[in-house]
Amino acid sequence: MPMHIRRHARITNATVYLEDNSLVGIAREIQLPKLEWHEVEHESLGQVAVFKTPARALQALEGSITWEAIDPDIARRTLDPSRAITFQVHHEQDVWDADGFSAGESVTIVTIMRLLFKGGELEALKNSEQAGFQQEFTCTRLVQRVHSENTPLIEVDVFANSVKVNGEEVFGR
């Protein structure tokens, strides 16, 4: 499959849906969890360099959401740190080329996350400005795929002890 580089792509919208596909809000910014493996160092007598390999465990999957608007009933649910909530985020990446907007190159990325929220931070309220609400979370399941494709780009499920890239188990090969 030839590699195609998308240039001048811009996220134009990030809508957030609950488990049952109900639109619950619009995110101003989402800091997705960083995928970073613990490392194991290998060093033996006579080896010319230390060799580091990824361990099976990822670092904690943490991130944050800054809401531009959120349904008050959903905001109440996110304030309970003991209950996980599954959200879908659809972020449209519009591509522009020399001829203008390229609908054929534009994609929607769907990110599904099961989240435990750690609380929330209300922003300062200012006249004539959009109110915001920032929340940090721990992610126990993360799936990201292109909307028009069935095979996820990445799938991590902490409780199922599974990490898949392009539908294939990373350490189960």
Q: What percent of the chain has pLDDT over 90?
A: 28
Reported as a single tens digit per residue, the pLDDT across 114-140 is 999 997 666 666 666 666 778 899 999
Reported as a single tens digit per residue, the pLDDT across 31-88 is 999 999 889 998 888 888 988 888 888 899 999 988 877 777 888 888 888 999 999 8
Whole-angstrom distance, CA of residue 28 vs CA of residue 168: 33
Q: Where are the alpha helices (DSSP H) in the chain?
A: 72-78
Apex 158 CA angle, 153 and 159, nearest 5: 125
pLDDT at 113 over 70: yes
Whole-angstrom distance, CA of residue 150 vs CA of residue 153: 9
Token couple for 41: 């160092």
Task: Calculate the average pLDDT of the chain.
Answer: 81
Please report the domains of the chain, with CATH numbers, ordered by start residue. Answer: 9-148 (2.30.110)
Query: pLDDT band for position 1 (50/70/90)?
Result: very low
**pLDDT (average), residues 152-166:** 93
pTM for this structure? 0.77
DSSP track, 108-134: EEEEEEEEEE---EEPPP-TTS---EE
pLDDT at 6 over 50: no
Apex 33 CA angle, 150 and 7, nearest 5: 65
Q: What sign for the dihedral angle of Cα 52, 55, 57, 58? A: positive
Q: Is 86 exposed, middle or buried (0-12, 13-18, 19+ CB in 10 A)?
A: middle
